[in-house]
Amino acid sequence: MTNDPHAWLEDVTGTEALEWVSQRNARTEARLTGTPLFAELESGIREVLDSRDRIPFVTARGGHYYNFWTDEQHPRGLWRRTTPESYRNADTEWEVLLDVDALNAAEGENWVWHGARFLRPDLDRALVDLSRGGADADVTREFDLPTRSFVDGGFARPEAKGGMSWIDRDTVYLSTDLGPGTMTTSGYPRTVRRLRRGEALESAELVYAGEETDLSISAFRDHTPGFERDFLRRALAFYADELHLIGADGTLTKIDVPDSAMTDVHREWCTVELREDWGSFTAGSLLAARFDDVLAGTPSWEVLFEPTDSSSLAGYAWTRHHLVLDVLEHVVDRLVVLTPGEQGWTRAPFTGAPEFGSVTVAAVDADESDDVWLIVTDYLTPSTLSIATVGEQPRPLRSAPAFFDASRHVIEQHFVTSDDGTRVPYFLVRRDDLPFDGSAPTLLYGYGGFEIPMTPGYSGGTGRSWLERGGVYAVANLRGGGEYGPRWHRAALREKRPRAYEDMAAVARDLIDRGVTSRAHLAVQGGSNGGLMAGNMLVRYPELFGAVVIQVPLLDMKRYSHLLAGASWMAEYGDPDTDDWEFIRTFSPYHLIDDTADYPPTILLTSTRDDRVHPGHARKFTAALEAAGHEVAYYENIEGGHGGAADNAQAARMAALAYGFLWEKLA
């Protein structure tokens, strides 16, 4: 597409572009929102999101548990804390530190909470991040916990992508937009500075300046008692970075490991998770060596985990004396406890870990204890939160409520053979009395990128809006994801990207061949990179689907690297300004639209405030489908960032639009 007739829609806040958006929003709302079904969907999802009975997940800091909470009365949320003793009671007493809705009212703003970082070891100050409308760009303000107020004249960072982190009470690391030359081509900070209290941002001491073509530069202090160290991370690309130790004199010492590896330093240990083979070590392995030996150039690397054809490392968590590995075995979590000692590392199963479902494990306080948080869930089982001391049975703390009747549903795992012979798993959630006559409305979801695995999780909104109403739900574990580690990811990188779409098509055909559903009753859904997947399913495999839902998507792959953060993803997709375009064009939905094809009805949902994936992708694709005479609906939320919604009301409306569209087209 040499001359792009829809390029004007890339002007995010342009008058003409927003008028175009307004017209299509009104058209979509008029079509979908004025029905009893939509009202039921929206109110049902909102009730789930606002439920006071859901688990208030917490972070332990000192003698308090901290939580951020939203509900109907507090749509933008409360930052609050309680004691461990009170948290164990049903009637927990919370101390409110910051009411974001009250802050918005006082300042005439639309702040969305982005998190906080505590000053250690005193824990009486925090650096609080707030975003306008949910965008990635945010501001930082210093907050005083004893007085529950922002510090007058304290540390502050204007709105930008970047961050601020504590060095000590009067010094922070600063990475932000300070004008020309301070940001990378990906739109992230190119410099990191040491800012002292009372100093102007532009006067802060330069610690390091990366190249303009780097992804981002940041620095942080490890405050672990007895192991205080400062590090600089230079992200070269999405899957390549350098970790440097910052010396007391400001000199940088690069940690000598592959740039493609993910490196972490904890107390005396350096761990390296390999994305590529390194000498005799296999990609996907986790290695450990003493950090001082790594610095000295004499490390003795020990293999803590090595992948198999069926397993990968999903993550790990340090406690005071142990390392807990989360291993995926055919996309099912298995926990393993490793303990370093004089004779090396010993290995044991995690006491009380479940046999099926998704398990999330995180340290309660890695400096002080061997306690971990344990969150267990699956598609039909609400989350439970337990605390467990490694080696002992977990102690349940909270259980989320059930938002739909799952007593007549079952979860199955199936495997299909993709075009090149690769076995691809997917999960299927259905009623136990499904007739297998091809009549069931079925929603197929997938992602397939950035080494992110799709594991089972409970969604009250999906349960109420889809499963309980007779729908079938399927989740495909596409190549490009992380279900089987780096090899699964690399199998759909760059020129191999269409493998992910072949996998999705294979799952769709299997659902039809099994009699679960048929083309007229099958929909595909995806967001972000998954939106690129859904767009490709529309233009490459329209004969398989009766409806398509595309959310906050990439779609114009010729322009993506020039739009917002797109340049940071060239390691995933390739560089369209080079010969890479020859293969990228084969999976650029915007360039593959066929005027004569029989496309299923499609809805696109995005956000004006998405400053990660440009809303121009969804706008231009919609305009092109319209021009070609295809049926397409469009809705753009004015807030929400890449998540698509800034509060529960917006999230419920966006989800209800998708489900309402699906029921209209598939039932």
**Which residue is it, tokens 């709302």?**
29
- Asked if residue 219 lies in contact with residue 167, where contact means CB atoms within 8 angstroms, the answer is no
Q: Which of 509, 555, 507 is nearest to 529 (CA)?
A: 555
Is 186 an annotated catalytic residue?
A: no
Q: Residue 272, SS3? A: strand
The 10 Å Cβ neighbour count of residue 341 is: 8
Among candidate residues 285, 358, 418, 528, the one labeled active-site is 528
Range 140-147 contact pairs with CB under 8 angstroms and sequence separation of 24 or more: 140/164, 143/97, 143/98, 143/116, 145/97
Hey, is 516 helix, strand or coil?
coil
Length of the chain: 667
What is the residue whose two structure tokens read 């694709």? 621
| 3-state class (DSSP) for residue 649 | helix
Q: Alpha-carbon distance 102 to 79, whole Å?
A: 12
Catalytic one of 244, 591, 617, 642: 642
Helices 616-627 and 15-32 meet at what angle, rounded to 10? 70
**Strand, coil or helix: what is 497?**
coil
Distance CA 614, CA 553 (A): 8
CA-nearest of 477, 641, 481, 496 to 565 is: 641
Q: Please indicate whether residue 617 is annotated as part of the active site.
A: no
Task: Please report which helix (H) or strand (E) contains residue 653, including its range.
Answer: helix 648-666
Enumerate residues 6+ apart whose C-beta is below 8 A from 84.
60, 63, 65
Kindly report whether the peptide bond that precedes residue 441 is cis, defined as omega within 30 degrees of 0: no
Rg (CA), the chain: 25
For the annotated catalytic residues, the residue numbers are: 528, 642
